[in-house]
Amino acid sequence: MSLRLFNTLTRSIQPFTPLDPAARSVGMYCCGPTVHDYAHIGNFRTFVFADLVRRYLQFSGYNVHHVMNITDVEDKILRRARESNLALREFTGRYEAAFLQDFDTLLCRRPHALPRATDHISEMIAIIGRLVERSIAYRAADGSVFFNIERYRACGCQYGRLVHLNSEALRPGERVASDEYEKESAADFALWKARVPEDGDVFWESPWGEGRPGWHIECSAMSMKLLGESFDLHLGGEDLVFPHHEDEIAQSEGATGRPFVRHWMHGAHLLVEGKKMSKSLGNYFTLRDLLEKGYTGREIRHLLLTAHYRESFNFTLDGLAGSRAALARIDECLAKLTEVAAEADAPPDAKVVAPFKAALDEDLNLSAGWAVIFDWVRECNRAMAAGQLGAECAAAALSAWRQMDDVLGLGLKAAQSAPKEMLSLLDRRNLARKAKDFALADALRDELRSGGWAIEDTAKGARLKRL
């Protein structure tokens, strides 16, 4: 069995084959955050999805080079920076740092490169220059540069491969009508935006005059710089299919004449409490909002990983409580396995890893993967309850978990050891129980509980567990 992934280009699940299969290396680019605010849970679904892809490729033996851009120049950023009276870099720097912190909280592996748009203006200008040279782009009267879709098509290129739009449907809508730029055709998109007064001191010199880059061009410039003019995998949220990714393909292939990306993957959006997230509905959550409610990054990550990435997903606070319970079940099992395994060591138990891999190989069907994991948890529990699981087997189970967790990224929750005061309370309770002074024993139990520790009476005696 080998990895098959859905490719938006072909709208089908197909074997994943990198450009250079022999090297087992994969170049992967994911459209990153626009740093003008704290990222919300919907943004993070996409990044956790990208992390899953990256981890699974690594699990599958690929050497992944993961690039994610930081969009730090854009209309909304400019406006907000201006409102906050901060220099662009100072403003975006705050949200970039917050984003990365959130990224870590969700246990996502950091990309190998995090290029910022503003550090790659010259690369963007170079691409625009190539397009102008080939007459696929033109300079408008105001100094903006647009991509000419007609010319691109005339070169034998196809526009609309991802989204399958017909050009007649691309009639100017309200948003286009209000666009003041001087395009020759409504479908054309900006590569370079001429400087306007509202931009303040945010502008760069270019052969076409002062201005700033359009939105799509940054991804073409940075991905091709870091991964080559053709690379393997490009990811993003489903809303980016059109126009962002469609335009990326057009400007990249228009400039290089070479195929841009082999494999496109898009993560579906999520609903929150059954509705589209919106601030007015009160169901708009940043990661920070959820942490404030007492949920952990690990729980949020788990919930985001319960549904298949191409299905829209209903993110709820109830679901988060469910994730907490589900993780506790896994943690409990792993803690017991650790106890049984003691010092033993063994290679991963293929009985669980193999079906897990089979599930993930089929377009990352992690929902099916969870079924494998929970079936396995039940089996382990059953065997341990019957006292029929040897140290070797427990060790093999733990190795298997570590291997699968390489993909899940949830970690092995370390057993917390209780502080001295709590341990002495436990001792006193044990003595009270021995003396059959149950009133005292129960009082001590309550005291422990209010101190945040639950007593678990097991066959091997009482132990404490963090609440």
Distance between CA atoms of residues 114 and 328, nearest Å: 34
202 is a site residue for RNA (CB under 7 A)? no
Contact yes or no for 366/45 (Cβ under 8 A): no
Among 14, 25, 338, 381, binds RNA (CB under 7 A): 381
- In 3-state terms, the chain is what percent helix, strand and coil (to 5)? 50, 15, 35
**Which range, of 83-91, 226-234, 392-400, 455-463, touches RNA by CB under 7 A?**
455-463
| Least distance in angstroms from the C-beta of 63 to RNA | 25
| Least distance in angstroms from the C-beta of 396 to RNA | 18
4 is a site residue for RNA (CB under 7 A)? no
| Least distance in angstroms from the C-beta of 393 to RNA | 15
Among 104, 293, 457, 466, binds RNA (CB under 7 A): 457
267 is a site residue for RNA (CB under 7 A)? yes
Q: Which of 1, 41, 51, 16 is nearest to 264 (CA)?
A: 16
Among 5, 81, 128, 277, binds RNA (CB under 7 A): 277
**In the block, which residue shows the tokens 């209780």?**
418
| Least distance in angstroms from the C-beta of 223 to RNA | 14
Contact yes or no for 227/107 (Cβ under 8 A): no
**Which range, of 21-29, 127-135, 261-269, 286-294, touches RNA by CB under 7 A?**
261-269
Site for RNA, residues 418 to 437, rule: CB under 7 A:
433
Give the start-end residues of each E strand in 148-307.
189-194, 211-213, 231-237, 261-267, 270-272
- C-alpha torsion angle, residues 181, 186, 187, 193 (rounded to 10): 0
Q: Which uninterrupted H or E stretch holds 455?
A: strand 453-458
| Least distance in angstroms from the C-beta of 420 to RNA | 21
Distance between CA atoms of residues 406 and 56, nearest Å: 8
Contact yes or no for 232/28 (Cβ under 8 A): yes
Provide the token pair at 372: 């494998």
Distance between CA atoms of residues 233 and 160, nearest Å: 18
**Which range, of 85-93, 106-114, 223-231, 370-378, touches RNA by CB under 7 A?**
370-378
14 is a site residue for RNA (CB under 7 A)? no
**Which range, of 17-25, 113-121, 160-168, 402-410, touches RNA by CB under 7 A?**
160-168
Distance between CA atoms of residues 23 and 170, nearest Å: 42
371 is a site residue for RNA (CB under 7 A)? yes
446 is a site residue for RNA (CB under 7 A)? no
264 is a site residue for RNA (CB under 7 A)? no
One-letter amino acid at 130 equals R
Site for RNA, residues 100 to 159, rule: CB under 7 A:
none
Site for RNA, residues 63 to 82, rule: CB under 7 A:
74-76
Strands 270-272, 313-315: pairing is parallel
| Least distance in angstroms from the C-beta of 453 to RNA | 11
Site for RNA, residues 284 to 343, rule: CB under 7 A:
306-308, 310-314, 316, 318-319, 321-323, 325-326, 328-329, 332-333
